[in-house]
Amino acid sequence: MEEDEHPIRGLSPKAFEELFRRHYEELFFYTCRYLWRREDAEEVVQDVFVHLWEKRREIQISSSVKAYLYAAVRNRAINHLKSRWAREVPLPLEAAAQLADKTAEQESGQQPLMSLLQQGIASLPEQCRIIFQLSRQAGLTYDEIAEELGISKETVKSQVKIALRKLRDFLGRRWETLFWLWWWW
């Protein structure tokens, strides 16, 4: 591709704004597949556009701009998940159970159950937790996870099995809480 044919390099601020308006919403919803929090998804998409504008003269796009944007937000969302989980420290099980009791009294609907499930996920070992989240929450295939994390597909399968077993155990030990949540709501 010749330099003057590059789709981003000569983009005016007005044309860039149009690109942003045209793709922001669809990229936001796509990013929500990876990230549960709206604020995180918005931040990731905005960061991609800021990076694109700041590096527009250096970035080489060999495919369509749309394909580039999708790949960029996907990669940035996965990196966001990795860094967030690296910073978070799982609660000890006793503290998680106490927190579940408090949230069961304070929250309504399915929030206490989701909170309990999130506590179970937070208690998983780091690699197991990351793989489980990428599989179940982000909807990535085992092959995609293996490629992204640089591990084998068999390791991914094994870690998902471990995560599911540990979550069953975690929730099973709290069957009484689950029963009361179901009964109350």
pLDDT in tens, the chain (185 residues): 344 445 677 778 888 889 899 999 999 988 887 777 788 889 999 999 999 888 888 888 877 889 989 999 988 988 887 776 545 544 444 444 444 444 444 444 445 566 777 888 888 888 898 898 888 877 888 998 988 888 999 999 999 999 888 888 887 766 555 555 444 44
What three-state secondary structure class fits 125? coil
Residue pair 111/103 in contact (Cβ under 8 Å)? The answer is yes
CATH ID of 3-87, from 2.40.40.20, 1.10.1740.10, 1.25.10.10, 1.10.3720.10: 1.10.1740.10
- The domain spans of the chain are 3-87, 93-184
Domain 3-87 identical in fold to domain 93-184: no
CATH of 93-184, one of 3.40.1440.10, 3.40.50.150, 1.10.10.10, 2.60.120.960: 1.10.10.10
| Cα-based angle 185, 166, 76 (whole degrees, multiple of 5) | 90
Q: Which two tokens stand for residue 146?
A: 């293996």
CA dihedral 5, 9, 14, 19 (to 10 degrees): 80
Give the Å distances, CA to CA, from 120 to 61, 125, 128, 167.
41, 11, 12, 6
The overall pTM is greater than 0.75: no
